[in-house]
Structure 1
Amino acid sequence: MLKNYIKLTFKVMLRKKYYTALTLIGISLTIMVITVFASFLDQIVSANPPEVRRERTLILDKVSVYKGGKKTDAVPSINFLQKNIHNLESTEFISYFTTREFISFLNGKTAGHVLKFSDENFWKITDFDFLEGKPFHGNEVRKGARVAVINEKTKSYFFKDGAALGKTFPIQGISYQVIGVVKPSTPFSRIYADVYVPYTTDINIQRTDKALEGTYNAMLLAKTNDLKKVRAELRGLLKKVNPVSGADSVKVHAFSALEQFAKSSSFNDDEPEYGKTAIIISIVLILFLLIPAISLVNINVTRIGERAEEIGIRKSFGATSGTLIGQLVTENIIITLIGGLIGLGLSVYASQLLVQFINTFDPLFKMPTDSFVISWRVFGFCLFSCLLLGLVSGIYPAWKMSRMDVIYALKGGNNL
């Protein structure tokens, strides 16, 4: 039965090429937009390499001081983190890092680079794919060795196609030796950088990092998926030893990538509001689907009206309304899936154009052209969107068709 429906669908598509073209254009453009949007969200919150343990990884990026009924928020300093956020029973590793930027001049060209100061635990929490060399270890961090791990883009910029290991390049006038080359992470990630160096080489620590306020974050890898245990231990730790003299209390904020995204729709620092975030995403998805769905409904009504004789003959030979509705909805879903595949292909080029457009606003710090990646999760979501669009735009026209008068239809007319 399905095989016959597929054959009939292609015959219908070829019969009225104008309507087919309009249908496929509307579907493909809709799925293209949804795919780019879904890819962006997927790279923000999902466990993609090198953040394969994202569901157990928390980023501590804010400390709040409560004093006299007032709250003061600040980015923590490396001194505060090392003194108070360490040796937690609920975590496997804790890493301290900060992100800066530097500009290089090479062969008459100027380029911007993202620089990340980190420690040896940074490489234990993440799972970077090392194409060459290795990460820096604890001794190099403690000694403040001027070594660097760079990504492929940075290697190509400084060393072209030649070898990079053992060679040096300047960062703010100081030479660093390359000891590793990695595949880059997504630029939407907190761990993204072009260059990674030991935080002990950060000459600005003493000027920018005080006892409490500074520029550093902590990355914590929990032992289990129960992240509330980590936050509970952090609260208990800071209650026992108040690190800020004269303060009523001090609180740190540590959330996973998914929690950070869900918390963006909330004014509450304590708990992410998943429900509100889900509602916002659902509304955006509905808006993306609603306009093309309405257009497809009108096209399908017209298409079905032109098939009045065919429908009348089938009904006269005993085809039930349910059978006809199933056939036409199936045809519509097949057409939607074809348009979805076209939209999926278009999304690859659309994402590259979007990156190029974004890069025009900041030509120094350019995003890689392959920043948007279509994972199996994104593909599955787009498949679901195609099915939903096919159902929404096909059920009503099919229902209208099932009520068509047989005698009137056999005469070549329709009463839709």
Structure 2
Amino acid sequence: MLKNYIKLTFKVMLRKKYYTALTLVGISLTIMIVTIFASFIDQIISANPPEVNRDKTLIVDKVSVFKNGEQTDATPSLTFLQKNIKDLESAETISYFSTKEFISLLNGKAAGHALKFTDENFWKITDFKFLEGKAFDLNEVKKGARVAVINEKTKAYFFNENEALGKTINIYGSSFKVIGVVKSATPFSKVYSDVYVPYTTDTNIQLTDKEIEGTYSAMLLAKTNDLKRVRAELKTRMRGKNLVSGADSVKVHAFTALEQFAKSSSRNDDEPEYGKTAIVVLVVLTLFMLIPAISLVNINITRIGERAEEIGVRKSFGATSGTLVTQLVIENIIITLIGGLIGLGLSVYASELLVHLINTFDPLFKMPTDSFIISWQVFSFCLFSCLLLGLISGVYPAWKMSRMNVIYALKGGNNI
């Protein structure tokens, strides 16, 4: 039966090419937008390489000082983090990092690069794929060795297709030896950078014991999925410590990537409001899909109306309303899936076009053209969106068709 429905669907598509074209255009554009949006969200919160431990990794990038009833928020200093965050029993590995930028001049053209100062533990928490060489180790960090790990985009920029190992790049007037090349992380990630160097080469670190404000963050890889244990231990560490003169208390904020995304719609730093974030995302997706769904409903009603004689004949030979509804809904789902596949293909080119558009506003610090990656999660979500769109736009017209008067339909009329 399904095989017959599929054959009939393609015959209907070829018979009414105008309606087919309108339907496919509406579906493909909708799925294209949904795919790009879903890809953006996926790369922010999902455990994709190199952040395969995202569900167990907490980012400490904010510290709050409470003094005389007032709250002051700041990015913590390296000194504060190393003094108060290290040796947590609930954390398997702790890494410190700071993201900055530098500009290079090559062949008379300037280009901006993301620079990350970090340590040897950074490579233990993440799972970067090394295309060449290796990461810097503890000895190199302790010595303040001027070594660098670069991503493939930076290698292509500085060295074209030539081997990068052993060559140097200039950062802030100092030469750094390239010891490794990694596959680029997504630019929406906390671990993304063009160049990674030991934090001990950061000449701007303020090594003052009393300082709390700085430019560094910490990544904590928890031993288990019970992240409440890590937060509880952090809270205990901060309790009773006279970290800032005259301060009543100090609090560090530690959240996963998902929690940080959820906090973007909340003013509460203690409990990310997942419900509110989910509602915002749902509303956006609904708006993306509702308008084309309404248009497809109208197109399907017109298309079904033009098949009145066919429907009348089938009903006169005993086809039930349920059978006809099932047939037309399946037809619509098949058409929607075809449009969805076209939309997925278009999303690849549309995402590159979007990146080019973004880069025109910041020609120095350009995003890679493959910044939006369609993972299996995104593909599954878009497949589900296609099915949902097919059902939404097909059920009502099919139900209207089931109420069609047989005699009127056989005369070529349309009473839906």
TM-score range, shorter chain: over 0.9
Matches within 5 A, 1:353-368: 353-368=353-368
Relative to 1, partners in 2 of residues 1:243 and 1:349: Cα closer, same or farther, differing over 3 Å?
same
- Specify the code of the residue in structure 2 equivalent to 1:47: A
Percent identity over the alignment?
Answer: 80
- Specify the code of the residue in structure 2 equivalent to 1:374: I
Q: Given the alignment of the two structures, is residue 374 of structure 1 paired with residue 365 of structure 2, yes or no?
A: no
Relative to 1, partners in 2 of residues 1:227 and 1:50: Cα closer, same or farther, differing over 3 Å?
same
Matches within 5 A, 1:1-400: 1-206=1-206, 211-400=211-400
Cα distance in 2 for partners of 1:385, 1:350 equals 18
Kept after mapping to 2: 8 A contact 1:102/1:115: yes
Relative to 1, partners in 2 of residues 1:90 and 1:115: Cα closer, same or farther, differing over 3 Å?
same
TM-superposed CA distance for 1:121, in Å, is 0.5
The CA deviation string for residues 140-171 of structure 1, in whole angstroms up to 9 with x for no partner, is: 11111101001111111112221211111110
- Specify the code of the residue in structure 1 equivalent to 2:378: V
The CA deviation string for residues 214-268 of structure 1, in whole angstroms up to 9 with x for no partner, is: 0000010011111111111100111043422321111000100000001111000
Q: Which runs of 5+ in 1 are unaligned?
A: none
Cα distance in 2 for partners of 1:243, 1:209 equals 9
Cα distance in 2 for partners of 1:209, 1:181 equals 35
TM-score normalised to the size of structure 2?
0.99
Kept after mapping to 2: 8 A contact 1:93/1:121: yes
Determine helix, strand or coil for the equivalent of 1:142.
helix
The CA deviation string for residues 369-401 of structure 1, in whole angstroms up to 9 with x for no partner, is: 000000000000000110010000001100000
Cα distance in 2 for partners of 1:401, 1:111 equals 61
Cα distance in 2 for partners of 1:243, 1:277 equals 34
Cα distance in 2 for partners of 1:206, 1:274 equals 37
Cα distance in 2 for partners of 1:270, 1:145 equals 39
Determine helix, strand or coil for the equivalent of 1:360.
helix
- Specify the code of the residue in structure 1 equivalent to 2:371: S
Relative to 1, partners in 2 of residues 1:207 and 1:235: Cα closer, same or farther, differing over 3 Å?
closer
TM-superposed CA distance for 1:208, in Å, is 10
Number of aligned pairs?
Answer: 416
Cα distance in 2 for partners of 1:210, 1:395 equals 67
Cα distance in 2 for partners of 1:114, 1:86 equals 26
Cα distance in 1 for partners of 2:210, 2:193 equals 25
TM-superposed CA distance for 1:207, in Å, is 8.6
Determine helix, strand or coil for the equivalent of 2:239.
helix
TM-score normalised to the size of structure 1?
0.99
Kept after mapping to 2: 8 A contact 1:208/1:214: no
- Specify the code of the residue in structure 2 equivalent to 1:22: L
Relative to 1, partners in 2 of residues 1:413 and 1:208: Cα closer, same or farther, differing over 3 Å?
farther
Kept after mapping to 1: 8 A contact 2:98/2:117: yes
Deviates most, 152-161 or 100-109? 152-161
Q: Which runs of 5+ in 2 are unaligned?
A: none
Determine helix, strand or coil for the equivalent of 2:73.
strand
Determine helix, strand or coil for the equivalent of 1:175.
strand
Kept after mapping to 1: 8 A contact 2:79/2:207: no
Determine helix, strand or coil for the equivalent of 1:197.
strand
Kept after mapping to 2: 8 A contact 1:84/1:243: no
- Specify the code of the residue in structure 2 equivalent to 1:275: G
- Specify the code of the residue in structure 2 equivalent to 1:262: A
Kept after mapping to 2: 8 A contact 1:309/1:409: yes
Kept after mapping to 1: 8 A contact 2:210/2:244: no
Point out 4+ residue stretches in structure 1 off by more than 3 angstroms: 207-210
- Specify the code of the residue in structure 2 equivalent to 1:334: I
Kept after mapping to 2: 8 A contact 1:60/1:218: yes
TM-superposed CA distance for 1:209, in Å, is 9.8
Cα distance in 1 for partners of 2:289, 2:159 equals 47
Kept after mapping to 2: 8 A contact 1:23/1:296: yes
